[in-house]
Structure 1
């Protein structure tokens, strides 16, 4: 936590973080915008089997979990076993290698749960998780690990060697979602203010 409060000199860090948390919540409500804040965890996860974080592990103040509408925690068990060849060689841990979890610990207006991702250390990216994809430790990761584009055929290959047919999709305004649907502004659409029609006697010239 890098934010500070103007009253920091007179208060404990816990009270200071609580003040900051309430201020951010008030800002989000006043402006009706989402505010994403990053918070550090304490070392409680290192003493716990599985090292899975909880909301109580949020550092320096319980006000963060109280004020937040959504609390998401990132977890990679492999991170806690770097260089532990015995753990890496254990067949029971094979599915955990390269696995990242986004733990939805709190969601005020929705369900909680866990979303699984694949961590690609080569590109420092989280990718869609495929439980059937073989995983390897980052030091000997397979090329295209985590669902890279190398695993997928080109459009021509997918069409059996012929040029694939281009689908224009549904017309604008049709109900539901259609893959390949036309995007962009509607013909004749104006997003600015002002009258749609100009008086012929008016000296002003229409801007379009």
Structure 2
């Protein structure tokens, strides 16, 4: 239920909320349009002379737009590619928020989980960021998934999964988001260090597993 409520709120943002950042248009929508339609405006960051931006992030979104071909709305005006992408971004954001909400409710307290849900639902910042075509929003999705993995100890600790989500989001999205993994790693290190030798060995194995997954 939480997912559907959040997805509905983000869908409203996708349809009615304007783009407030020119960087979103010229550094992400235009290159994606180039990949999907064969033409688009080029900023100097994507110029072969400088090449300071990776095409990996926008390529993922070009693939998402390509999924529109299997949905019976392909004959609609091209502007629906824009709305389709924003709605998909909102759905992905809702999925990551709903998963984190679930883990907070089960791991900490249902009341805390409900407070988190209400904050996410009513926050103006989330209303805007949920459908923004920006690396920072992508890192926000993956950070939420990573936090949910670190908090979920049922059936064993999910260090590798949490590392993969957060580091993957930093690699494809916003590099500085990688710092958010540090508190969780420090916690697990302290737990392993003060438990026993086998637990510390298991911790090192999880670190290795997470590193391999991230690569």
Higher relative contact order (CA 8 A, sep 6+): 2
State the TM-score bracket (shorter-chain normalisation): under 0.3
Larger Rg: 1
- Calculate the TM-score normalised by the size of structure 1: 0.27
- Calculate the TM-score normalised by the size of structure 2: 0.27
Q: Looking at secondary structure, tell me which structure has more helix per residue.
A: 2
